[in-house]
Homo-oligomer: A and B are copies of this chain.
Amino acid sequence: MPDTTSDNRTTGPAAIAGGTGRFTGGPDYRPLNEQSVPAFVAAIESCVATLGGQQADWTVREVGDGNLNLVFIVEGPSGGLVVKQALPYVRLVGDSWPLPLDRSYFEYQAMSVQSRHAPSLLPRLHHFDPGQAAIVMELLSPHIILRKGLVAGKTYPRLASAIGTFLAETLFNTSDLAMPAAAKKGLLADFAHNTELCKITEDLVFTDPYRFADLNRWTTPQLDETAAAFRADSAAKIAAQEMKWKFLTAGEALIHGDLHTGSIMVTEDDTRVIDPEFAFIGPMGFDIGAVIGNLFLAYAAQAGHETRVGERDAYRAWLRQTVGAVWREFSNRFQALWSEKAAGDAYVAELFDDAGGRAALRARQSRFMADLLADSLGFGGAKMIRRILGLAHVEDIESIGNPDRRAAVEKRALAFGRLIMVERRAFGDIDAVCDAAADLLDGKETS
């Protein structure tokens, strides 16, 4: 039987699974419901203390609006908890699309690693039950999902700094710049088993939007011609598959793997990253691109939400500034970590410990960051396109009721996503990207 203690971060999946390849979901696994959650939680000492009172005093509600899991909020006299349980199928599609419960193991492991490097930027972990594929964590309150805040036009002055910090700390500290090779290869081996969730990304992000696929959908008939153009767009298909090659082969760091604005919870003062069940050792730019691409989707959507042209200009300016600030915060902090905490096997610090070496390494760091920006734009553009032509769409745009207005937003977002994906190496810096967004995404031509 799998280990059911609340902290098994030193226990690899092979040890837990006994080599069977199943990391979670025991013979007693069954989906929780609002009736069974209190007894489940009552068996966990730290949870009882957090909730306070007795089992009968606790309220439970299921709030999962994602695609893959059950999410329960449990509240007691002293506090609240979240219970997140994996389902054995894709909730969005139904039980015709089975999905392994193991992802709960990978999510817990990823949160454990992330919480060592950015502890204030994710919910506190209370417990992991591999048999039930369930994670119990801090209830974030009064946080809301960032995407909903962006749809509502709310600004978050501390968001960029927090996300830039999360990206820098989690990506640098799990890379070969910070880790000895053997330790990093340990993470690589463990997370290499998270194949099914990676496969979802491989298909839905990089491939399906560019071919006929049963699960694709788009605003029709307005986008029919645009979708057909993408299916015939060799340059876009090559660029998307170049990014897929990188997704399949570039083992740079432990990435979140799904860091869109629905995986970030916010208040005005606080920012937390949730839901890293897609985590694996992959390309750093995939996480950065997820943030940037989804902020640009929010940006494009403003034209569909404003009641008069230009009404949301100030909000657009804030979104542009936020994209720039996320990148700059990330980039500055990542380079500072590289200069101060390079304890890994890559770019061995000792080799560059003289004046010439320091200058050469600084120049190399600049080129590294430029390459990483290009990767981030490539991934970000791919993620924008897939949210309009593929299976999973975003509320920012779906909430635009008028299909003509929505389609106009979508066409602009597609053109911009294609541009930053195909021409990802042509932007000198993040400001050039934001300038292009102002040119292509404002939508004032529809006035």
Does A237 have its Cβ within 8 Å of any Cβ on chain B?
A: yes
Measured between alpha carbons, how far is A176 from B241 in the docked complex, in Å? Answer: 11
A181 and B207 form a contact (CB under 8 A): no
B249 and A176 form a contact (CB under 8 A): yes
Contacts of A336 in B (CB 8 A): none
Chain B proximity of A190: nearest CB distance (Å):
8
Contacts of A357 in B (CB 8 A): 234, 237
Chain B proximity of A400: nearest CB distance (Å):
30
Among B176, B184, B196, B361, point to the contact of A238 (Cβ < 8 A). B361
Chain B proximity of A183: nearest CB distance (Å):
9
Closest to A188 in B: B192
Does A292 have its Cβ within 8 Å of any Cβ on chain B?
A: no
Contact with B along A181-199 (1 / 0, CB 8 A): 1101110111011011011
Does A12 have its Cβ within 8 Å of any Cβ on chain B?
A: yes
Measured between alpha carbons, how far is A359 from B356 in the docked complex, in Å? Answer: 45
Among B199, B352, B356, B361, point to the contact of A182 (Cβ < 8 A). B199
B346 and A245 form a contact (CB under 8 A): yes
Find residues 178-224 in chain A having any chain B CB closer than 8 Å to their own CB: 181-182, 184-186, 188-190, 192-193, 195-196, 198-199, 202, 207, 210-211
Measured between alpha carbons, how far is A207 from B350 in the docked complex, in Å? Answer: 10
Interface size, chain A (Cβ < 8 Å): 55
Measured between alpha carbons, how far is A357 from B244 in the docked complex, in Å? Answer: 17
Chain B proximity of A233: nearest CB distance (Å):
9
Contacts of A184 in B (CB 8 A): 248
Chain B proximity of A198: nearest CB distance (Å):
7
Among B19, B186, B195, B241, point to the contact of A347 (Cβ < 8 A). B241
Measured between alpha carbons, how far is A363 from B234 in the docked complex, in Å? Answer: 11
B210 and A248 form a contact (CB under 8 A): no
A244 and B345 form a contact (CB under 8 A): yes
Chain B proximity of A35: nearest CB distance (Å):
37
Chain B proximity of A408: nearest CB distance (Å):
28
B210 and A181 form a contact (CB under 8 A): no
Find residues 241-262 in chain A having any chain B CB closer than 8 Å to their own CB: 241-242, 244-245, 248-252
Does A340 have its Cβ within 8 Å of any Cβ on chain B?
A: no
B188 and A202 form a contact (CB under 8 A): no
Chain B proximity of A77: nearest CB distance (Å):
43
Measured between alpha carbons, how far is A352 from B244 in the docked complex, in Å? Answer: 15
B360 and A234 form a contact (CB under 8 A): yes
Contacts of A235 in B (CB 8 A): 360
Does A351 have its Cβ within 8 Å of any Cβ on chain B?
A: yes
Chain B proximity of A413: nearest CB distance (Å):
21
B360 and A211 form a contact (CB under 8 A): no
Does A63 have its Cβ within 8 Å of any Cβ on chain B?
A: no
B348 and A241 form a contact (CB under 8 A): yes
Contact with B along A337-379 (1 / 0, CB 8 A): 0000000011110111010110111011000000000000000
B248 and A249 form a contact (CB under 8 A): no
B181 and A347 form a contact (CB under 8 A): no
B195 and A348 form a contact (CB under 8 A): no
B192 and A232 form a contact (CB under 8 A): no
Contacts of A211 in B (CB 8 A): 348, 350-351
Q: A241-B351, A250-B250 are in contact. Are A192 and B192 (CB under 8 A)?
A: yes
Known: A185-B195, A232-B354. 18 other contacts (CB 8 A): A14-B19, A17-B19, A19-B19, A176-B248, A176-B249, A181-B195, A181-B198, A182-B196, A186-B192, A189-B193, A211-B348, A234-B352, A238-B360, A238-B361, A241-B346, A241-B348, A242-B364, A248-B345
Q: List 11 A-B contacts (CB under 8 A).
A: A181-B195, A182-B195, A182-B196, A192-B192, A207-B348, A241-B351, A241-B364, A242-B364, A244-B346, A245-B347, A249-B251
